[in-house]
Amino acid sequence: MRTKTEVRCVLDASVVLAYLQRETGYDRVRSALGAGAAISAVNIAEVYAKVVERGLPVDEIASRLRALGLEVVAFDAAHARESAALYPNARTLGLSLGDRACLALGQRLSLPVLTADQAWKRTPGIKVELLR
C-alpha cells in the first residue's frame, strides 16, 4: 500500500466506476491510479454496491479493486466530523454523505479530488478536477 506522501489525488466512486467500465475519461483515471490515488472507505463501498447491483460477485470485484492499488482510507470519527462540517455548503449543492466523505478526504490530505460530478466544482476551498 502507498503512503500518504505517495498519494497524488483522491478519487470519487464515479471515476472508479468509469475506469472499471472503460468509459470516457478512463485514461485519466488510469494515470491517477499510476501516480497514486486514495479513496474513502465510504466511496469504495459505493463502488462495491454498484458492481454487485450489476450482478458481479463481490469477491470478483474485490480482487479487481485491490489490483488498482488504491489507498483505502478508513471513515473514522475525525473523517465523519470533517464531512459533517461540509454539510452547510454541500446541502445547497445536493451532495450526499458519500460525496462529502470524498471531499473531506481531499481536504484532509490537501489533495485534488477527481470526480465526474459537475456540482462539486462549486465546493469552496477544495480543489476539484472533473473527469470529463
Per-residue pLDDT of the chain (132 residues; tens, 9 = 90+): 444 458 999 999 999 999 999 999 999 999 999 999 999 999 999 999 999 999 999 998 999 999 999 999 999 999 999 999 999 988 888 899 999 999 999 999 999 999 999 989 988 889 999 998
Q: What is the pLDDT of residue 53?
A: 94
**Cα 78-83-89 angle, rounded to 5 deg:** 145
d(CA 10, CA 114): 6
Q: What is the pLDDT of residue 5?
A: 53
The grid cell for 111 is 489533495
What domains can be seen in the chain, in order of their start residue? 4-130 (3.40.50.1010)
Backbone angles phi, psi at 9, to 5 degrees: -160, 170
Q: What is the pLDDT of residue 2?
A: 46
Describe the crossing of helices 41-53 and 13-20 by its angle, rounded to 10 degrees: 40
